[in-house]
Structure 1
Amino acid sequence: MQISKAMSDLMNAQIGNELGASNQYLQLSAYFDGQALKKLAELFKKQAEEEREHAMKFFDHLNEVGAPVNIPAIAAPKYDVASAEEAFKMAVDWEKEVTRQIYAMVDLSITEKDYASQNFLQWFVAEQVEEVSSMENYLAVVQRAGEKNLLMLEAYFSHQ
């Protein structure tokens, strides 16, 4: 089953978006590792791995439907993170942007009556609800704890 060029283009772009998110989360992991906050580093390393898995889901889907796979250039991650709060705000903003990207693909699949893509994308719709909610909750915890209590955050995240 072939999907439209427009859908293929969006899905190929999403591979790049997911790989870019993976790199950004890996950079945030390195930031926390440099601050000797190992649990926070692990959290973002796990997020990086999840984003790569998401990219691979799009990669595999494009191959399954016989569409070309064209992995775009990946932008460098932001290196100058100043605080834990900034890191989590970046994560929340990124997850909200990914949600908008997924919804755009869902909208196109509905317009094009592309039922295979609609079905495939439903997993991502549910995943984004969980991702945004988790990151917003983590951000709230970081904001309540404050930068001077990051060791308390380590203890909190060790129980998550």
Structure 2
Amino acid sequence: MTQSAPAKLSEFHLLLQQQIRNEFTASQQYIAVAVYFDSHNLPQLAKRFYTQATEERGHAMMMIQYLLDNHLAVAVPGIDEVVTKFDSVRAPVELALKQEEAVTEQITKLARTARDNGDYLGERFMQWFLKEQVEETADMHTLLAIVDRAGHNLFDVEDFVAREMSTVQRADSTAPKSAGSGV
């Protein structure tokens, strides 16, 4: 039995391929943020962003699996430059919020493109990511507000993150399958 050649990529699939790069870049950016917090003895913030980095990588892997499942070519991309130096604790949190807002726009564009092109499977696939972006953006808004309120008292920020943002995450049964998850 011979394997058929991968199908031609639609506008939605090309955008999804670009989003894979965006998600891997976001993952690396969150690692840089976590390292900043780790180097400033802020373990709760560091843990939060290491976890976020893993989630972003997971999103890229879900998108890769979607392309594979649809017999579409996948090119594993490099990443864009990431910011590694910050002048305050607020700066990386503000950067994270801006990043989540940008990703929300990208995910919305993906869903709109799928819908506009009659790609109902693609539109359905993007629904989970839209829900995820609402949560991630809200969390970053909250974290930035807490950092601003705490001022120089970073122990209050650490306490808030430990108490309110470090809950054990349960597997989401509605999440798309991730490439490599069956390995």
Equivalences for residues 21-60 of structure 1 within 5 A: 21-60=26-65
Q: CA deviation at 1:83?
A: 1.3
Equivalences for residues 103-122 of structure 1 within 5 A: 103-122=108-127
Q: What code does the residue aligned with 1:89 have?
A: E
1:82 paired with 2:92, answer: no
Equivalent of residue 155 in structure 1, options 154, 159, 180: 159
| Contact 2:21 2:79 (C-alpha < 8 Å) held by counterparts | yes
Equivalent of residue 123 in structure 1, options 106, 124, 128: 128
Q: C-alpha separation between the residues in 2 aligned to 1:104 and 1:29? A: 29
Q: CA deviation at 1:72?
A: 2.2
Q: C-alpha separation between the residues in 2 aligned to 1:140 and 1:21? A: 21
| Contact 2:30 2:49 (C-alpha < 8 Å) held by counterparts | yes
Equivalent pairs, count = 159
Percent pairwise identity: 35
Q: C-alpha separation between the residues in 2 aligned to 1:3 and 1:137? A: 42
Aligned-residue RMSD, C-alpha? 1.4
| Contact 2:97 2:137 (C-alpha < 8 Å) held by counterparts | yes
Hey, which bits of structure 1, 4+ residues long, moved more than 4 A? Answer: 1-4
| Contact 2:7 2:73 (C-alpha < 8 Å) held by counterparts | no
**Matched residue of 2:153: which SS?**
helix
Q: What code does the residue aligned with 1:149 have?
A: N
1:14 paired with 2:19, answer: yes
Q: Deviations along 1:43-102, whole A, 9 cap, x unmatched? A: 000100000000001000000111111122212310111111111110110001001101
- Structure 2 CA distance for partners of 1:154 and 1:38, relative to 1, 3 Å: same
Q: C-alpha separation between the residues in 2 aligned to 1:3 and 1:111? A: 18
Structure 2, gaps ≥5 residues long = 1-5, 165-183
Structure 1, gaps ≥5 residues long = none
| Contact 2:86 2:92 (C-alpha < 8 Å) held by counterparts | yes
TM-score, normalised relative to structure 2: 0.83
Q: Could you say which residue in structure 1 is the equivalent of 2:168?
A: none
Q: Deviations along 1:90-118, whole A, 9 cap, x unmatched? A: 01100010011011111111111100001
- Structure 2 CA distance for partners of 1:152 and 1:69, relative to 1, 3 Å: same
Bigger radius of gyration:
2
Equivalences for residues 87-102 of structure 1 within 5 A: 87-102=92-107
Q: C-alpha separation between the residues in 2 aligned to 1:158 and 1:72? A: 34
Q: What code does the residue aligned with 2:30 have?
A: Y
Q: CA deviation at 1:121?
A: 0.2
